[in-house]
Chains A and B, each alone.
Chain A
Amino acid sequence: GAVVSQHPSWVICKSGTSVKIECRSLDFQATTMFWYRQFPKQSLMLMATSNEGSKATYEQGVEKDKFLINHASLTLSTLTVTSAHPEDSSFYICSASAGRNYGYTFGSGTRLTVV
């Protein structure tokens, strides 16, 4: 079946630094990748949608200059949290799809803690 690898699984960083999270589709070409954020005891909230080779589309309220998304290839998307602050601490999850008529596969998530 389709597999999505997400790294790192957890990261602790100092306030003001940047953190990059990688999401790779291992056995299929992901034309579209989605990034979600999940706070404790809450559901997943969509942050942005990215299509390979195009700029990401961000959901309302998500700062595109703070959460940089790159989807340069059909198997890799990255989310960079720039100038991280404690309120950015959350569980970040990526999802990949081969197209509108295909399903969705999720990564295992990244626990970000900003101290």
Chain B
Amino acid sequence: DAKTTQPPSMDCAEGRAANLPCNHSTISGNEYVYWYRQIHSQGPQYIIHGLKNNETNEMASLIITEDRKSSTLILPHATLRDTAVYYCIVRARGGNSGYALNFGKGTSLLVTP
């Protein structure tokens, strides 16, 4: 799996957009970018995933650069409940290799009042 690099921590004011970057310069053509988050003492929660097109759902938007070497998760209007550790993971779908999600250290996002 391609390795990802995320800033260890970020702050965001409540109501503002939170933009969380992720570098994955060694991503392969068949690897998707997944974003999960983990609120303290809970299991990870799926946010969004994409291959090469930008994606949007009710939780967030995912912007993937044209060369796919980096992406940004956007929480359009951050709330205090968005305080969590956000993980960017690249993973291929299908194939014959093991397909568990491997978590890095993620970005600890603190949303402040």
Contact = CB atoms under 8 A, between A and B. Distances in A.
Interface residues of A, number: 25
Contacts, number: 52
Contacts of B102: 46
A43 B45 contact: no
Interface stretch (A61-69, A73-81, A82-90, A95-103): A95-103
A6 B43 contact: yes
B44 interface: yes
B106 A43 contact: yes
Nearest to A97: B99
> In the complex, which range does the number of interface residues on chain B fall in?
20 to 34
Given A43-B105, A100-B93, A34 B43 contact: no
A101 B93 contact: yes
Given A43-B104, A43-B106, A44-B103, A100 B94 contact: yes
Interface of B: 34, 36, 38, 41-46, 49, 87, 93-95, 98-106
Given A100-B93, A106-B45, 10 more contacts: A34-B100, A36-B103, A43-B103, A43-B104, A43-B106, A45-B103, A57-B98, A97-B99, A101-B93, A109-B43
Interface of A: 4, 6, 32, 34, 36, 43-46, 49, 57, 91, 93, 95, 97, 100-101, 103-109, 111
Most buried by B among A44, A49, A97: A44
A109 B104 contact: no
B39 to A, nearest CB: 10
A95 B94 contact: no
A97 B38 CA distance: 18
A93 B44 contact: yes
B69 to A, nearest CB: 22
Contacts of B42: 108-109
Given A46-B102, A49-B100, A93 B49 contact: no
A101 B46 CA distance: 16
Nearest to A104: B101
Contacts of B100: 34, 46, 49, 95
